């Protein structure tokens, strides 16, 4: 019940006593996930740049590790609770790559259940930003409370990602479809190599965007620092800045599902 109440309040204003209660009443599924996470954290590849969307299902053999530990029946609530324990691992040199593990848990759970409800990731208590969160997302609806590092929504195929915070570089890199909504600011290389989908930025873009973009829609409500390659964008690309069409055909941002109050 405490976890449910915290989820409904989006993990805001959590008292120290409430947090202590949750952390001392760890359920068995979360205990298994933590053991698997510790094993996976040690085996995260050093050259993350070599990982492609085609390799996703074999990241660290997480799916095989889950089966070996008989931990394939975890729930989305278990993933939410699992996030609360991650700050204790922040001293690990590969902690920022924990986003790969979270991506795997969501990806595999969604493949098994086709869950329609949101996955909630409360990471606003972290001092370090996780990278590659929601990597290769394909259908899941995920809400993240907090800010993220690089490569948020990379290789995304479908689904919805809502980030209540800021994002660093390479948001939506080579995404093929789906919707990303970021309530805060983003840094550089937004939507590079984008192949489809919609990205909505409610804050500012502090770098370049749309390099080698092929298809998709970008809606920006804040300021855009620069767009170096807009003259090379084709007619399949739409950019709407502060409700003004900068490039592409008219598509009303008011009709975009991610611009409605959530």
Q: State pLDDT tens for residues 75-105.
A: 999 999 999 999 999 999 889 888 988 998 9
Q: What is the pLDDT of residue 250?
A: 45
**CA 177, 103, 65 angle in degrees (round to 5)?**
135
Sign of dihedral through CA atoms 87, 89, 93, 97? negative
The neighbour count for residue 112, using CB atoms within 10 Å, is 11
Q: What is the pLDDT of residue 48?
A: 44
Instruction: Convert the pLDDT of each residue in 214-237 to its tens digit.
Output: 999 999 999 999 887 788 888 889
Task: Record the pTM.
Answer: 0.82
In sequence order, the 6+-apart residues with CB closer than 8 A to the CB of 181 are 160, 161, 162, 163, 199, 200, 202, 258, 259
Q: Name the residue with higher pLDDT: 46 or 152.
A: 152
Q: What is the pLDDT of residue 94?
A: 85
In sequence order, the 6+-apart residues with CB closer than 8 A to the CB of 165 are 124, 144, 145, 146, 147, 148, 182, 183, 184
Structure tokens at 152: 């948020």
């Amino acid at each position: 019940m405490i976890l449910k109440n915290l989820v409904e309040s989006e993990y805001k204003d959590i008292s120290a006593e409430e947090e202590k209660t949750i952390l001392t009443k760890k359920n068995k599924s979360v205990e298994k996930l933590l053991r698997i996470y510790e094993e996976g954290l040690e085996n995260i590849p050093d050259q993350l740049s070599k990982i492609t969307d085609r390799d996703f299902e074999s990241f660290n053999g997480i799916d095989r590790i889950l089966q070996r530990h008989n931990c394939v029946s975890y729930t989305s609530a278990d993933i939410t609770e699992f996030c609360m324990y991650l700050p204790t691992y922040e001293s690990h040199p590969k902690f920022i790559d924990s986003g790969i593990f979270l991506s795997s848990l969501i990806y595999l759970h969604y493949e098994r259940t086709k869950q329609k409800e949101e996955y909630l990731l409360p990471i606003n208590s972290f001092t370090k930003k996780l990278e590659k969160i929601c990597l290769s997302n394909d259908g899941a609806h995920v809400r993240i409370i907090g800010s993220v590092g690089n490569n948020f929504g990379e290789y995304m195929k479908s689904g919805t990602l809502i980030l209540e915070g800021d994002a660093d570089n390479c948001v939506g890199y080579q995404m093929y479809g789906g919707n990303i909504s970021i309530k805060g600011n983003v840094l550089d290389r937004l939507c590079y190599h984008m192949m489809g989908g919609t990205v909505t930025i409610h804050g500012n873009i502090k770098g370049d965007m749309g390099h080698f973009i092929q298809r998709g829609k970008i809606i920006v409500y804040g300021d855009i620092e620069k767009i170096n390659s807009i003259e090379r964008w084709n007619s399949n690309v739409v950019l709407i800045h502060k409700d003004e069409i900068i490039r592409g055909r008219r598509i009303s941002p008011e009709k975009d599902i991610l611009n409605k109050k959530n």
